[in-house]
Amino acid sequence: MPERTDHLGHLEHLDVRKTYKLFVGGAFPRSESGRSYAVRAADGSLLANAALASRKDARDAVVAARGALAGWAGTTAYNRGQVLYRVAEMLEGRRAQFAEEVAAAEGLRAGAARRTVDASVDRLVWYAGWSDKVAQVLGASNPVAGPYFNFSVPEPTGVVAVLAPQSSSLLGLVSVVAPVVVTGNTVVVVASEERPLPAVDLAEVLATADVPPGALNVLTGRTSELAPVLAGHMDVDGIDLTGADPSSRAELERLAAANVKRVVATDEDLARTPSLRRLRAFVEIKTVWHPVGI
């Protein structure tokens, strides 16, 4: 390959194009189909080629999430908060990189992109802080007539599929994934179809931030192709339709009804200060009776 020089005769630096892959089971596989698609900046210029996940990739991600569920759900709430806080630390350490990618993907000015990354870090820290408080807020010790204790205890729903927002590549992704993971669920997330690069770079952070393999899996590709697979999958316990096209939500809810999935479909402004709504979305309340004196 001939060397390239600038007008002064100095060798030019050639950008090393990155190969973007999926994140499944703690590893970075290519799509089993071998497909990829062009990811373009807000101005239409080519940024990269991302893996175009197939239906089989989605099923493989569900298998990985199911395999990780017992270990992740069985981890103490405090430890899950520590892991999420570690993700926030590492995201802040790569603030410049993520700000550049958010700016390119969403067409934001540099200052606005940095504020978006900062808000994403803050959002992770906020949810990490709730990890060991959710049980006290959502659970209860119930008064009963008789020699019994009666407790209501929140438990994770299980394997949850999340369709990330299409317009907010990083903050939106963090806002929908963090509350699901911190409450003990394992996740298969379909990143923004047009703006997936911050999500796949976040996967690199997850891989080195003590997140157990399979607890959080990231797919890139066509939401319209992957969403029906996840909605109808019998081993998926819940699905967040935030990133789905509104016209497709009724059909996705119909598919989800096959195994009585928990379905969440909201159009809330994810840039606003979060509430407990998403922490409640994918937990089940278990009632336990216990005799007094035993």
Average the pLDDT over each of 31-40, 196-205, 263-272 and give the range with the smallest value. Answer: 263-272
Virtual CA dihedral for 281, 173, 230, 203, nearest 10 degrees? Answer: -120
Residue 145: per-residue pLDDT: 83
Q: What is the pTM of this model?
A: 0.90
Q: What are the extents of the domains in the chain? A: 36-291
In this predicted structure, the answer to whether residue 2 has a pLDDT above a threshold of 80 is no
b/e burial code for range 200-238 (CB count within 10 A of at least 16 → b): bbbbebbeebebebbbbbbbbbebeebbbbbbbbeebbb
Higher-confidence position of 294 and 3: 294
In this predicted structure, the answer to whether residue 132 has a pLDDT above a threshold of 60 is yes
For Cα atoms 38, 23, 163, give the angle at the middle one, nearest 5 degrees: 70
Residue 8: per-residue pLDDT: 59
Nearest residue to 75 via CA among 2, 137, 156: 156
Asked if residue 32 lies in contact with residue 54, where contact means CB atoms within 8 angstroms, the answer is yes
Residue 160: per-residue pLDDT: 98
State both tokens at 227. Answer: 């969403």
Residue 1: per-residue pLDDT: 46
Superfamily of domain 36-291: Aldehyde Dehydrogenase; Chain A, domain 1 (3.40.605.10)
Q: What is the mean pLDDT of residues 197-221?
A: 94
In this predicted structure, the answer to whether residue 3 has a pLDDT above a threshold of 60 is no
Question: Which strand (E) or helix (H) includes residue 8?
Answer: none
Higher-confidence position of 110 and 12: 110
Asked if residue 80 lies in contact with residue 93, where contact means CB atoms within 8 angstroms, the answer is no
Residue 149: per-residue pLDDT: 86
In this predicted structure, the answer to whether residue 37 has a pLDDT above a threshold of 60 is yes
Measured CA to CA, the distance from residue 194 to residue 223 in angstroms comes to 10
In this predicted structure, the answer to whether residue 18 has a pLDDT above a threshold of 80 is no
Asked if residue 160 lies in contact with residue 281, where contact means CB atoms within 8 angstroms, the answer is no
In this predicted structure, the answer to whether residue 7 has a pLDDT above a threshold of 70 is no
Q: What is the mean pLDDT of residues 229-239?
A: 97
Measured CA to CA, the distance from residue 113 to residue 71 in angstroms comes to 36
Nearest residue to 238 via CA among 180, 199, 175: 180
For the packed helices 223-232 and 249-256, what is the interaxial angle rounded to 10 degrees?
30
**HSE-CB for 100 with a 13 A CA cutoff:** 6
